[in-house]
């Protein structure tokens, strides 16, 4: 295949951040005196922009209440929460190897710009990505705008672009942008949710992702 641009989701695809995100969501609700959602519910919004995620989790809350919820989430995620968010084993090496092959690499994430910049700094992977887009800069997934902007910035056609992610929001964004998608099932959404969007494949481990790319990318 002639993909020259690989666009990665971040949380649940490269970084194992589910526990930290869920803890911050639950702490934010508790700060406002509301019953925190259980893990099974909180993890379902990972991948969306913060405002969209909080609207889904608290549909009966007012606009002001949800803004306060977003603020409390950011407080915990950017400083108050001690739960670690490590890269998945092998993720660093995969990104480094793909970059060394001369491929264009990008990130399209539901994280805020501040959150992504913190993650890129802590992991040391900033220099390996040629473009990044965050949900507080443009439309949240599954709107295609993040992908469209990345492709325009890097000069890649739809046929040359592959979206890699762990949620159905990633799969829908890819379909809406007219690009191919590759699903990974070691993140937050179950395989059946991913497969309904007809990705090229659905992989259960990061090593399977590496193997798939080795088989299908042109030398």
**Nearest Cα to 81, choosing from 34, 19, 123?**
19
**Residue 9 known to be catalytic:** yes
In angstroms, the CA 44 to CA 33 distance is 22
**Residue 166 known to be catalytic:** no
- Residues annotated as catalytic (active site), given as ranges: 9, 11
């Amino acid at each position: 295949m002639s993909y020259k641009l690989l666009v990665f989701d971040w949380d649940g695809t490269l970084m194992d951040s589910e526990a930290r995100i869920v803890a911050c969501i639950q702490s934010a609700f508790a700060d406002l005196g509301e019953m925190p959602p259980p893990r099974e519910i909180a993890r379902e919004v990972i991948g969306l922009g913060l405002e969209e995620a909080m609207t889904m989790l608290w549909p009966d809350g007012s606009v002001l209440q949800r803004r306060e919820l977003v603020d409390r989430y950011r407080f915990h995620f950017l400083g108050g929460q001690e739960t670690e968010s490590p890269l998945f084993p092998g993720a660093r090496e995969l990104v480094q190897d793909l970059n060394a092959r001369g491929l264009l690499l990008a990130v399209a994430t539901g994280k805020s710009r501040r959150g992504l910049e913190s993650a890129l700094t802590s992991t040391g992977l900033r220099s390996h990505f040629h473009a990044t887009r965050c949900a507080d800069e443009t439309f949240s997934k599954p709107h295609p705008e993040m992908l469209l902007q990345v492709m325009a910035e890097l000069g890649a056609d739809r046929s040359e672009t592959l979206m890699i992610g762990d949620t159905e929001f990633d799969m829908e964004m890819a379909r809406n942008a007219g690009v191919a998608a590759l699903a990974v099932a070691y993140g937050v959404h179950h395989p059946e949710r991913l497969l309904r969007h007809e990705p090229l494949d659905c992989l259960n481990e990061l090593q399977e992702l590496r193997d798939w790319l080795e088989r299908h990318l042109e030398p």
